[in-house]
Structure 1
Amino acid sequence: MTNVVDYSRSPSGFEDDLEIAANIYSLICALEALEQAYIAGHTELAEYEEECLNLLSLCKIIEDAKGHIFQEFSKEYSVKCPLALMRLDKGIPASLERRPGSVRPRNEKYLLFELSEHFITLVDALKLGCKLVEEVGCPDMENKNKQLFPLIHQLIGCLRCIQLQHTTSAEYPLMSPVLNKLEGWHLKMEKMAAHDKLEEADIRQLAMDTEAAYGSFKTFLRKQS
């Protein structure tokens, strides 16, 4: 029997956004079911990893906007999904975490996955015509993905973490020129006012630089495997 959660009795404000509450409940239950299926051997490894990464990516979007929201939600509504909460804490599928020869999986595997996610989000935002540097006072997820500076700031932050781990790699210098261009865009937008918008020429150039950097990053990943 499926549990029914009464969001209207929430003392923590979930009743103010029932759609978000429903999404949280749906995601955490889906992740719990996937973990149980993996443990029981009822799912293929490739299918498990793909679905788990997809769910973790969606959960991370919500977590970025409202930190620790899944733990708070589970505690408040007594949602029993311990496997899902553990997987959220680990940040990567169990198969990657326990794979032989994997060193510091959360610090490496997950960072690479996260960087790829940031690239895709920025590319999509540019394709949708996003021009706004940053809209102050609009922390919700919908507006967050319409602002360029927060998107490129997250990408650069993740990129810097990876740089610290891979600067000794023979292939890493191949990434440097195009990635340095993104650093330049980050510095440029950092100096702009929040309400500023990029010109059309800048948008096109940023899109080209982002696509080039993403392509270089994927080439780097292939050579690492």
Structure 2
Amino acid sequence: MAYAPVPYSYTPSLLSTTINPDIEVKLADTTAERDLLDSLGELYSIILTLEALEKGYLRDTVQERDYTEICDRLLRQYRSHLTDEHVRAAFGDLESFKAEWGLEVPKATERLRIGLPATVETAPAREHNSHSNNRNSTGPSGPNPNATHIVSASESFITLLDAIKLNMLSKETLHPILVDTIQAVNKVTDRDFENKGKIIQWLITLNQMRVTEDLGVDQARELQFDMQLAYDGFKAVLGE
């Protein structure tokens, strides 16, 4: 028999009679639709890559420097794609996107929730030791590098506190300053000084907000209070 028999009740569907396997099927009819699909595909790839990167870092198969650079780039790309309102609407939120595409990525989920590489979230102890050993040293190229890091960290705290006082309360404004602050602090010391954890907590809070969203008045007052305490704790460590 040249063909397989079909049930009596079988009726060819419109889809089966119109699709030609030799013709490319277009997923998008317009440039805007194609760009949207490309962005969603990029987000999918970023999430999977981040999951693999986190596993590699935990298994010590990725060096800290490489991990930090790649993770930071992936997080920035993730946030950048979601600044587009059409992409954000189609993406929904991370949990719904994962459910739709069957993604099991617990480590990437946690990293996206925090919004910082693990190496930035917690400073390596050896970095502090290196700085401590060089605390009183100077060289031909300039002053003690630790002093430069201290100034940078202090400037970040002051910039953050000034932004809050000036009611610059959007995620787009505050999140980068907070990232700069924790990175600058970690270059000075790995010690868990008083209220340092507040910086991470607020980074997580801001990271979960929409790009266009602002902190409320009460939140801004609380952030200012917490960051002043963190700044005081940082200065107290320097005096020890």
| TM-score, normalising length: structure 1 | 0.38
Q: Counting helix residues as a fraction of each chain, which structure ranks higher? A: 1
| TM-score, normalising length: structure 2 | 0.36
